[in-house]
């Protein structure tokens, strides 16, 4: 940005021009060089102080007030005004810089607010839909039973079982909403400890054993790991593993294989969980860890789940200052990986 002139320079230039005109006029009228020179000096001195006073009093001081107001508006803290340099010799440039910076920041804030508003709208729509589906299912089964199916032994237990499954899905959704609200709403408290990740994986595999049997899927480790020591919050990493393994079982193919691999990455341990499912199109991957985001809404809801599992995974790993990633090929499956500090 071009640097503006200081007020004394402006006053001097204005006075110089005025005094030169005055000196030329006197020289033409009086034909006396001495009078002309004296008129030049007197006019220069008088004009300099007059112009300087006017600039300081009616322009620069008022601009400083504007600058002060901008600074107060930006900081919202009166204590910060002590840092404001009101004795600056070039307030015009500073005001210009402040206004430009404020406009850029304000534009960014407006864009962020618009994005948050769109995200809020989408989130509320997703929550409403996810809650409505099991509630309508429960309502339908109960009304059918009340209308006479309760006395029919062939269907009453079936309808009650389906209503119970819908209630379980509703509870799962509410539990996941509570978890992600806690993860997003405040700083996550971590109970960091050293533990064997392989032992924790074995516990998770026992937990999901029935799900694997239903899909006739084998879960196994790559290679032959003995011990995988990491430093992390064991309970929260257990939640990460459960979500990722269940996700691999849900979207992997029947009679398929889910592989779990561990890789030494110098200071970290990389854990990867791979399935042999249909895979994920590349355009979906950037949004995969958003709340309720589904690549195939109809098919995903048929598979069950709250749509919050991957979002919970992301928040837990970010709290550990680690990352989660995914790579996928259509028709070949997907691999989710996350890192943890080596123990």
The token pair that represents 145 in the structure block: 């039973």
Q: What confidence tens digit (pLDDT) does each residue in 41-74 have?
A: 888 788 878 877 777 766 666 666 666 666 665 5
Q: Are residues 162 and 235 in the same domain?
A: no
DSSP for 187-223 reads PPP--EEEEEHHHHHHHHHHHTHHHHHHTT-EEEESS
- Split into its structural domains, the chain has a count of 3
Distance separating alpha carbons of residues 206 and 275, to the nearest angstrom:
18
Q: Are residues 173 and 198 in the same domain?
A: no
Q: Are residues 245 and 305 in the same domain?
A: yes
Q: Are residues 334 and 215 in the same domain?
A: yes
Alpha-carbon torsion (95, 100, 103, 105), positive or negative? negative
Whichever domain contains 156, its CATH number is 1.10.287.130
- pTM beyond 0.85: the answer is no
Domain final residue, candidates 142, 157, 185: 185
pLDDT in tens, the chain (343 residues): 455 566 677 777 877 887 788 778 777 777 777 777 777 788 878 887 887 777 776 666 666 666 666 666 555 544 444 444 545 555 556 666 666 676 777 777 777 777 767 766 766 666 776 677 778 888 888 888 888 877 877 788 888 888 888 887 788 777 777 777 777 666 778 899 999 999 999 999 998 898 899 889 999 999 888 889 999 999 999 989 999 999 999 888 888 999 999 999 889 999 999 999 888 888 888 888 877 776 665 444 455 555 678 888 998 998 899 999 999 989 889 999 999 999 7
Residue ranges making up the domain that contains 231: 192-342
Q: Are residues 306 and 198 in the same domain?
A: yes
H or E element at residue 170: helix 156-185
- Whether 231 is in a domain gets the answer yes
Q: Are residues 161 and 77 in the same domain?
A: no
Q: Are residues 212 and 336 in the same domain?
A: yes
Q: Are residues 180 and 199 in the same domain?
A: no
Q: Could you give phi then psi for residue 335, rounded to 5 degrees?
A: -130, 120
């Amino acid at each position: 940005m071009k640097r503006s002139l200081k007020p004394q320079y402006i006053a001097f230039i204005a006075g110089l021009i005025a005094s030169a005109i005055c000196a030329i006029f006197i020289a033409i009228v009086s034909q006396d060089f001495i009078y002309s020179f004296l008129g030049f000096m007197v006019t220069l001195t008088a004009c300099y102080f007059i112009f300087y006073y006017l600039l300081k009093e009616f322009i620069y001081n008022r601009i400083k007030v504007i600058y002060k107001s901008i600074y107060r508006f930006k900081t919202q803290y009166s204590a910060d005004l002590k840092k404001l340099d009101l004795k600056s010799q070039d307030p015009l440039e500073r005001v210009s810089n402040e206004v430009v910076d404020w406009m850029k920041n304000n534009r960014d804030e407006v864009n962020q607010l618009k994005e948050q508003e769109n995200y809020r709208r989408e989130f509320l729509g997703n929550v409403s839909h996810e809650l409505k589906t099991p509630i309508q299912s429960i309502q339908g089964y109960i009304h059918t039973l009340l209308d006479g199916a309760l006395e029919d032994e062939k269907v009453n237990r079936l309808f009650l079982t389906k209503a119970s499954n819908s209630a379980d899905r509703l509870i799962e959704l509410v539990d996941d909403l509570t978890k992600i609200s806690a993860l997003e709403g405040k700083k996550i408290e971590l109970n960091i400890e050293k533990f064997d990740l392989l032992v924790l994986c074995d516990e998770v595999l026992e937990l999901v054993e029935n799900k694997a049997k239903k899909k006739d899927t084998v879960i196994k480790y790559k290679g032959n790991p003995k011990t995988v020591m990491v430093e992390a919050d064991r309970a929260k990493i257990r939640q990460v593993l459960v979500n990722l393994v269940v996700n691999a079982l849900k979207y992997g193919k029947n009679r398929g294989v889910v592989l779990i691999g561990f890789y030494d990455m110098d200071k970290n341990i990389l854990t990867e969980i791979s399935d042999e499912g249909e895979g994920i199109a590349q355009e979906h991957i950037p949004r995969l860890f958003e709340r309720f985001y589904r690549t195939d809404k109809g098919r995903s809801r048929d598979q069950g789940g709250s749509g919050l599992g991957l979002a919970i995974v992301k928040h837990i790993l970010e709290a550990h200052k680690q990352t989660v990633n995914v790579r996928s090929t259509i028709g070949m499956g997907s691999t989710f990986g996350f890192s943890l500090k080596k123990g």
